[in-house]
Amino acid sequence: MNLTIIGSGYVGLTTGTCFAEMGHHVICVDNNTEKIRTLQSGAIPIYEPKLEELVKKNVAVGRLEFSPSIAASIAESEVIFIAVPTPPNTDGSVDLTYIEKVAREIAQALQPEMGYKVIVDKSTVPVKTGEKVSQTIKHYAGPNVQFDIVSNPEFLREGCAVDDLLHPDRIVIGANSEQAMNVIKRVYQPIHAPILETDVNSAELIKHAANSFLALKISYINAVAKVCEKTGADVELVAEGIGMDKRISRHFLNAGLGYGGSCFPKDVKAFINISRTLGIPFTLLEEVEHINDTQHIHFLDRIRDRLWVLKDKKIAVWGLAFKQNTDDVRESIALKLCEKLCGEGAIVTATDPKAMHTAAPILNPMGVKLVEDMYECARDAEVLVIATEWSEYANADLQKLAGVMRNRIIFDGRNILSPANLRAVGFEYHSVGRPSVEEACPPPGTVPASNVPICKRPPVHSTHRRPLSCIR
């Protein structure tokens, strides 16, 4: 099928590339001509595992093209996907300016002789947006133009987006006509996954409801973690016990610094605003947001309590992206921590395997020193803070790390290290919702790396390892 994707950002580029990989002919459109030139050259402006190689492959075989022109692109396309940004307004509501502008441009480009078109909202939008898009196109299009509006929300996790598109849990198609439903089902025919057929309004609501529920799980386990810290319980064992209930599951029950990124914070705010506008305040989500907003502050308080005064103390931060396997720093908790540490006069060094370039414009003005090598970043540090769950940090050489730090103190905001291993190497270790390692055992150099014991936990827990590639 011939498809147009309007918007070549994270969602649009990934979606268009994966559609091309399925065998469709895809034109990705963007009004940023510099971005189009970059993409046409085979380079991509974001880091996402597997994406660059698929872009190059499908451009080479002619299934994937990039264009700055909406009008030229949709003339031969059966389906037009809208994948433009929907940023938050200051009150938490969704800014639909880009959606409205694209709807007008589509309307002005449509001609009766083009035949029937299906226009798909791929962007995350408030419920009833499809109705507004339909009204806008009818208002600005000429007579006798045939089209339908469909909602087809994306459920992409940064760091796993290609796999999420090619091997999804489900495909949600919201359409108010059988003809439109059948067209979109043809788009996804190469994919073997359950298809949920709904009306447009229900499909739009599913995306906000799903992301808000996942955010709720994260905030819930972080609230439980605070109880664990006060009682000496282990939040990972508590989460394991909760997650063994099939009604709950273990997914998204990982205590840490809270959620960030481009989706969860924005979508929770949006759902709160949508509910408030409808006259049914969603106070549960307001508390979810509050827990998340204060989680890193609680973590910072613990660091401050340990060091007494942060001013002039060197603190190293491992991780800047909001999660592993991405260079996205939008709403990154790591950056918020850096800002607060600098605000109290700490000397902050930071590193990240992929997000140094995206974080630099934000951190450089704060005075944060960015260091490529993770061990050099930690050199002479009083405290090491782990803020992103990269596998490089989970598999760090603890002997080497102990040899470069001024004080062997780690605050692990993602619970990726083993307390037993750290105790053996002589670290003081603090994590989220787990008992701290307060007393360092042998000093660095007295325990060969090969003899560092593996953390021993009860059998029910020892089999669990957090999936480092796909956690928000």
Please give the positions annotated as active site: 263
Residue type, 14: T
d(CA 336, CA 34) in angstroms, rounded, equals 31
Residue 386 pairs in a beta bridge with: 318, 412
Residue 176 in 3-state DSSP?
Answer: coil
Residue 383 in 3-state DSSP?
Answer: strand
Q: CA nearest 147: which of 188, 103, 202?
A: 103
242, burial (CB in 10 Å: exposed 0-12, middle 13-18, buried 19+): middle
Say if CB 158 and CB 48 are below 8 A apart. yes
| Cα 85 to chain centroid, rounded | 15
d(CA 282, CA 269) in angstroms, rounded, equals 10
Residue type, 88: P
d(CA 469, CA 49) in angstroms, rounded, equals 10
d(CA 259, CA 370) in angstroms, rounded, equals 23
* 343 token code pair: 């605000």
* 70 token code pair: 């909406």
DSSP tally for the chain: helices H, then strands E: 19, 14
Q: Where are the beta strands (DSSP E) in 259-408?
A: 314-318, 347-351, 369-370, 383-386
Q: CA nearest 171: which of 159, 148, 158, 155?
A: 155
Say if CB 175 and CB 184 are below 8 A apart. yes
Q: CA nearest 336: which of 319, 353, 357, 313?
A: 319
d(CA 117, CA 79) in angstroms, rounded, equals 6
Residue 318 in 3-state DSSP?
Answer: strand
d(CA 316, CA 351) in angstroms, rounded, equals 8
Residue 4 in 3-state DSSP?
Answer: strand
d(CA 13, CA 17) in angstroms, rounded, equals 6
Cβ neighbours for 3, distance < 8 A, ≥ 6 positions apart: 16, 19, 24, 25, 26, 27, 77, 78, 79, 80, 81, 187
